[in-house]
Amino acid sequence: MDIALSLVMLTVIALILGAVALLRRGGHGRQAALMLALAAIMAINLAIWVLPMHNGTSLSREAQKEQAPK
C-alpha cells in the first residue's frame, strides 16, 4: 500500500511539473489545465487515504491491518 501511495504522490508532482512546462512553452493550455485538474484529484484522493479519521486511524493503516500476515 505504501508503494502505491508513493507512486501517486510522485505522479502528482510529475503532472504539476509537466503542466508548468507546457504553460511556459506556450499553447497547449487545455492539456496543461487537464493535467493540473488530474493532479488535484489525485492529491485529494491521496489525502483521503493518508489523513486520519475521527478515531485517529487512516484508511491506509486500516487497509494494512486487513492484509494477510507475512
Dist. CA 40–CA 68, nearest whole Å: 32
Give the pLDDT of residue 1: 72
Average pLDDT by stretches of 10, the chain with 70 residues: 89 96 89 96 92 78 68
* Residue 29 CB partners (closer than 8 Å, separation 6+): 22, 23
Give the pLDDT of residue 10: 96
CA-CA-CA-CA torsion for 10, 13, 15, 20, nearest 10 degrees? -160
Cell of 11: 505522479
Give the pLDDT of residue 70: 64
Phi, psi of 57 (to 5 degrees): -105, 155
